[in-house]
């Protein structure tokens, strides 16, 4: 009899429910529900609609029930850094602000009044990004101190959604590390740091590892959805789940988790908190079994998603596949720095790219396809630079790159990446985040004995395309 597991994978722009099961040693997937997501401006603050997300989660669970399937367990993964503060009754305090909101502007300086940037990295190993939770909490402390004083609980977004499902509050490790408040050596909250910053200690409890059972669905949720199963923690940070699905057990593996963001890095046994790594803007995020994801955040396909949205709003709708294919015909060689802050949340991505090219004395893209080509070329160049930095910092020379996630479908970008880095590129699986989510649930469910066994199965189960650096790009 087939045993099913349900992954609820929620990204910044969409979410999906995917059922997984094992058949003849291979993992089989079935997407049963998909929904949209995104931040919206609410009284001047960019917010997530977490209540709406919870309704979508339950709607997908009802679809599961319609299929006559009651999974062994379900697990939720989402993006990182965002959180909610709850009062004594478990109600959300204030707005559910998202990481692209401007409330964190200047909050890094407020943090550095209490601890230097260098010491903060040495203690946490986490890359400075102005939207990190440490700065978001400082924004609440400085601008809404009454909310912080009333808070009884602090939950990252997937922790909160699990709480709504089960009534149980657990703080999951991989997402917690992105707060820049966890000590990588102690593998728990850095309480001295938290005290230094003036955040309430009571908000930070024990951390739970991927594979932990949160609890069973609450009675209300069982009645609403018709399902009765356990909720199990995957790596609730979606990148943590995606990296768990990288289909290789080699000792040194270079990967790109490619989606709205491109996360490029390798796995380390110990966090690299050296100043040289900080200056290169690398981070050490927690992974499954305390593996450290030593990586750099690159703006990623957010740039292509943004220009596509602009074109669609002007009445021209193109698929990502068509955009990729048409860009491959262009010869424009202009390059932008994808990590420039101007590309984080511009009013017009097209305008931001054109302005960068003009300011840097390069050819300004005039057509849609030139615009797309500049972005793809720029991403490949970022990967080249990042690859060089990783090799210098780790002392390891990698001969290949595994690209997982939705961006693995970008054929032109894969070819550009192979050529730019001089390394063989293996692209796939595309649903890596959901697969990694399911893999951890399946380890807990005794389908696999270890992550190594799960990765072997993933390699056999899904299509992996190969791109050699010598291949012609266009």
Q: Taking CA 37 as the corner, what is the angle to CA 32 and CA 43, rounded to the nearest 5 degrees?
A: 155
Residue 238 known to be catalytic: yes
Domain boundary among 207, 231, 255: 231
Let me know whether 168 and 263 are in one domain. no
52-78: pLDDT as tens digits: 999 999 999 999 999 999 999 999 999
Structure token digits, residue 388 = 């060089």
Find, among 436, 381, 428, the residue nearest to 407 by Cα.
428
pLDDT at 206: 96
Question: CB under 8 Å to 59, separation ≥6 — which residues?
Answer: 33, 35
How large is the average pLDDT for residues 156-176?
A: 98
Label the pairing between strands 400-404 and 254-258: parallel
- Among 238, 270, 272, 399, which one carries the catalytic annotation? 238
Dist CA 57 CA 225 (whole Å): 10
Which residues does 145 contact at the CB level (< 8 Å), separation at least 6? Answer: none
User: Is residue 382 pLDDT above 70, yes or no?
Assistant: yes
Cα–Cα dist 235/174, whole Å? 6
Give yes or no: residues 221 and 255 share one domain. Answer: no
Residue 474 has pLDDT above 70, yes or no: no
What does the block give as tokens for 205? Answer: 């409890």
> For residue 1, what pLDDT is reported?
66
pLDDT tens per residue across span 11-39: 988 999 999 999 999 999 999 999 999 99
Nearest Cα neighbor of 50 from 78, 28, 23, 75 is 78
Average pLDDT in the 232-256 region? 96
Domain shared by 317 and 205, yes or no: no
Q: Which pLDDT score is estimated for 472? A: 64
Q: In this structure, are 169 and 290 located in the same domain?
A: no
Q: If pLDDT is split at 50, 70 and 90, which confidence band does 375 have? A: very high
Tell me the pTM. Answer: 0.92
pLDDT of residue 473: 60
Which residue's entry shows tokens 């981070």? 283
Boundaries of domain holding 165 = 2-231
Domain end marker among 209, 231, 253: 231
Q: Which residue has the tokens 């909720």?
A: 231
366: Cβ contacts below 8 Å, ≥ 6 apart: none
The answer to whether residue 471 scores a pLDDT higher than 80 is no
Average pLDDT over residues 368-378: 97
**Which is more confidently placed, 218 or 129?**
218
Say yes or no: 354 and 414 in one domain: yes
Residue 248 and residue 184 share a domain: no
Pair (47, 180) in one structural domain: yes
Query: Do residues 312 and 371 both lie within one domain?
Result: yes
Q: Are residues 64 and 152 in the same domain?
A: yes
Q: What is the pLDDT of residues 357-366, one digit of tens each?
A: 999 999 999 9
Pair 178, 47 in one domain: yes
14 plus 100 within the same structural domain: yes
Q: pLDDT tens, 297-349?
A: 898 899 999 999 999 999 999 999 999 999 999 999 999 999 898 998 899 99
Model confidence band, residue 286 (pLDDT cutoffs 50, 70, 90): very high
Q: How many domains does the chain have?
A: 2
Place of tokens 């990590």: 339
Query: Which domain CATH number covers 260?
Result: 3.30.420.40
- What's residue 13's pLDDT? 86
**First CA to last CA distance, the chain:** 48
pLDDT at 251: 86
Q: Which of 282, 288, 236 lies closest to 263 in space, CA to CA?
A: 282
pLDDT the model gives residue 7: 98
Please check the confidence at residue 184 and state whether its pLDDT lies above 80: yes
As a three-state string, the secondary structure of the chain is: CCCCEEEEEECCCEEEEEEEEEECCEEEEEEEEEEECCCEEECCEEECCHHHHHHHHHHHHHHHHHCCCCCCEEEEEECCCCEEEECCCCCECCCCECCCCHHHCCHHHHHHCCCCHHHHHHHHCCCCCCCCHHHHHHHHHHHCHHHHHHCCEEEEHHHHHHHHHHCCCCEEHHHHHCCCCEECCCCEECHHHHHHHCCCHHHCCCEECCCCEEEECCHHHHHHHCCCCEEECCCCEHHHHHHHCCCCCCCCCEEEEECCCEEEEEEECCCCCCHHHHHCCCEEEECHHHCEEEEEEECCCHHHHHHHHHHHHCCCCCCHHHHHHHHCCCCCCCCCCCCCHHHCCCCCHHHHHHHHHHHCCCCCCCCHHHHHHHHHHHHHHHHHHHHHHHHHHHCCCCCEEEEECHHHHCHHHHHHHHHHHCCEEEECCCCHHHHHHHHHHHHHCCCCCCHHHHHHHHHHHCCCEEECCCCCCC
- Asked if 280 and 322 sit in the same domain, the reply is yes
Taking all residues of the chain, what is their mean pLDDT, rounded to a whole number?
Answer: 96
- Can you give the pLDDT at residue 260? 84
Within 10 A of 15 (CB to CB), how many other CB atoms are there?
21
Please list, in sequence order, all residues whose beta carbon lies within 8 angstroms of the beta carbon of residue 153, skipping any fewer than 6 positions away.
85, 86, 90, 169, 203
Last residue of a domain, one of 212, 231, 250: 231
| HEC sequence for 270-292 | CCCCCHHHHHCCCEEEECHHHCE
């Amino acid at each position: 009899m087939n045993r099913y597991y349900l992954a609820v994978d929620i990204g910044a722009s969409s979410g999906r429910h995917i059922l997984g099961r094992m058949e003849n040693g291979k993992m089989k997937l079935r997407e049963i529900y998909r929904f949209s997501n995104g931040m919206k401006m609410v009284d001047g603050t960019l917010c997530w609609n977490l209540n709406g997300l919870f309704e979508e989660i339950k709607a997908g669970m009802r679809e599961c029930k319609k299929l006559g399937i009651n999974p062994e367990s379900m697990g939720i993964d989402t993006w990182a850094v965002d959180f909610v503060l709850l009062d004594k009754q478990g109600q959300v305090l204030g707005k559910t602000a998202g990481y692209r909101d401007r409330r964190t502007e200047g909050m890094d300086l407020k943090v550095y009044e209490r601890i230097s940037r260098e010491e903060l990295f040495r203690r946490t190993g986490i890359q400075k990004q102005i939207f990190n939770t440490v700065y978001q909490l400082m924004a609440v402390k400085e601008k809404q101190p009454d909310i912080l004083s009333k808070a009884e609980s602090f939950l990252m977004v997937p922790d909160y959604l699990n709480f709504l499902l089960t009534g149980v509050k657990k703080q999951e490790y991989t997402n917690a590390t992105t707060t820049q408040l966890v000590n990588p050596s102690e593998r728990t909250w850095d309480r001295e740091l938290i005290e230094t910053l003036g955040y309430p200690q009571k908000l930070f409890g024990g951390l739970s590892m991927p594979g932990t059972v949160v609890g069973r669905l609450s009675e209300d949720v069982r009645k609403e959805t018709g399902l009765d199963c356990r909720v199990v923690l995957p790596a609730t940070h979606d990148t943590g789940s995606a990296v768990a699905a990288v289909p290789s057990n080699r000792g040194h593996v270079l990967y790109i988790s490619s989606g709205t963001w491109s996360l490029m890095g390798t796995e380390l046994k110990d966090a690299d908190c050296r100043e040289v790594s900080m200056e290169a803007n690398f981070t050490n995020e927690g992974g499954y079994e305390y593996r450290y994801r030593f990586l750099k955040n690159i703006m990623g396909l957010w740039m292509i998603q943004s220009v596509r949205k602009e074109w669609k709003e002007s009445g021209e709708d193109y698929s990502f596949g068509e955009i990729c294919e048409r860009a491959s015909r262009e010869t424009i060689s202009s390059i932008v720095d994808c990590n420039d802050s101007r590309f984080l949340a511009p009013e017009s991505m097209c305008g931001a790219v054109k302005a960068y090219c003009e300011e840097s004395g390069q050819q300004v893209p005039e057509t849609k396809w030139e615009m797309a080509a500049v972005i793809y070329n720029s991403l490949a160049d970022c990967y080249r630079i990042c690859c060089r930095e990783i090799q210098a910092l780790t002392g390891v020379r990698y001969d290949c790159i595994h690209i997982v996630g939705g961006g693995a479908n970008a054929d032109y970008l894969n070819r550009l990446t192979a050529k730019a880095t001089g390394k063989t590129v293996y692209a796939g699986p595309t649903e890596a985040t959901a697969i990694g989510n399911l893999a951890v649930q399946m380890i807990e469910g005794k389908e696999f004995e270890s992550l190594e066994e799960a990765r072997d199965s993933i390699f056999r189960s899904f299509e992996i395309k190969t791109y050699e650096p010598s291949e012609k790009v266009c």
